[in-house]
Amino acid sequence: MVFDSTIHNRRSIRLKNYDYSRAGAYFITLCCQDRRHRFGKIENGLMILNDCGKIAAEEWINLAQRFPSANFDIFQIMPNHMHGIIILNLPKAGSHKFEAGASHKFKAGASPKFEAGASPASTVQALLAGALIL
């Protein structure tokens, strides 16, 4: 379905004046392009993962190895999207500073490092970029 602003009245659920670059827990939703059912199907009330859905689950779990400054908590995969909770921790002192906007420079399996004072907002961007490489 194509977005139509006359019938799709989605308002932002973000809190006004909240700094989303802070360390903390974030509930995210990742949607498939064109809302296509790429991850499986629901049968008798249960989500049945197909091969792509199994890869998405494995990659969610593997993100913890690539991004040690975050915890990847519970997640749920649906036919055309997935939900998850990412907990951003404060960067460890002495690690390298993250270069904002440089997530495209990471190789598969590489982990960006952060130093005290680095912005967790860059961390959120890097985490989501890592999740979207599926």
Give the pLDDT confidence of 38-60 residue by residue, as tens digits: 999 999 999 999 999 999 999 99
For position 88, what pLDDT does the model report? 84
Angle (CA) 116-88-14 rounded to 5° is 115
For position 21, what pLDDT does the model report? 67
Q: Which residue has the higher pLDDT, 12 or 122?
A: 12
Q: Which residue has the higher pLDDT, 77 or 69?
A: 77
Mean pLDDT over all residues of the chain? Answer: 74
For position 1, what pLDDT does the model report? 59
- Residue 43's CB: how many other CB atoms inside 10 A? 8
- The alpha carbon of residue 131 and the mean position of all alpha carbons in its chain are separated, in whole angstroms, by 5
Look at phi and psi of residue 34 and say left if phi exceeds 0, alpha if psi is from -120 to 50, else beta: left
Q: Which residue has the higher pLDDT, 15 or 57?
A: 57
Mean pLDDT of 123-128: 62
Say which range, 5-9, 67-71, 103-107, has the weakest mean pLDDT. Answer: 103-107
- Is it the case that residue 108 has pLDDT exceeding 50? no
70 near 64, Cβ under 8 Å? yes
Give pTM, 2 decimals: 0.63
Enumerate domains of the chain plus CATH numbers: 24-131 (3.30.70)
